[in-house]
């Protein structure tokens, strides 16, 4: 690990020390989301099974839902 990465991690840790449990939980969920997102990569292949198998699904509404869901994190971080 290079020195700047360690410094950034330390800065982040310092910022987290004053947050309440609710905020820490929201941040932990966001970190999990980012890790999952990075594992998916650019090409996303979904194979639906069960009652959804062979159904045509429009994922554009899912993308909008995801953006709206995480919008509260931005608002809370900016103090709105």
* Cα three-residue angle 35-37-40, rounded to 5 degrees: 110
- Give the Cα separation of 16 and 30 in Å (integer): 14
Query: What is the extent of the structural domain holding 49?
Result: 3-78
> What does the pLDDT look like over 37-65, one tens digit per residue?
777 655 565 667 787 777 777 777 777 77
Nearest one of 77, 66, 76 to 34, comparing CA atoms:
66
Distance CA 2, CA 4 (A): 6
H helical segments located in 1-80:
3-16, 21-40, 60-78
Say what the pTM is.
Answer: 0.42
Count of structural domains within the chain:
1
pLDDT > 70 in the chain, percent: 79
């Amino acid at each position: 690990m290079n020195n700047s990465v360690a410094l950034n991690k330390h800065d982040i840790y310092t910022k987290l020390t004053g947050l309440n449990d609710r905020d820490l939980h929201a941040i932990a969920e966001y970190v999990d989301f980012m890790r999952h997102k990075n594992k998916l990569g650019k090409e996303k292949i979904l194979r639906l099974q069960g009652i959804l198998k062979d159904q045509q699904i429009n994922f554009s509404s899912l993308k909008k839902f995801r953006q709206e869901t995480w919008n509260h994190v931005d608002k809370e971080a900016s103090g709105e």
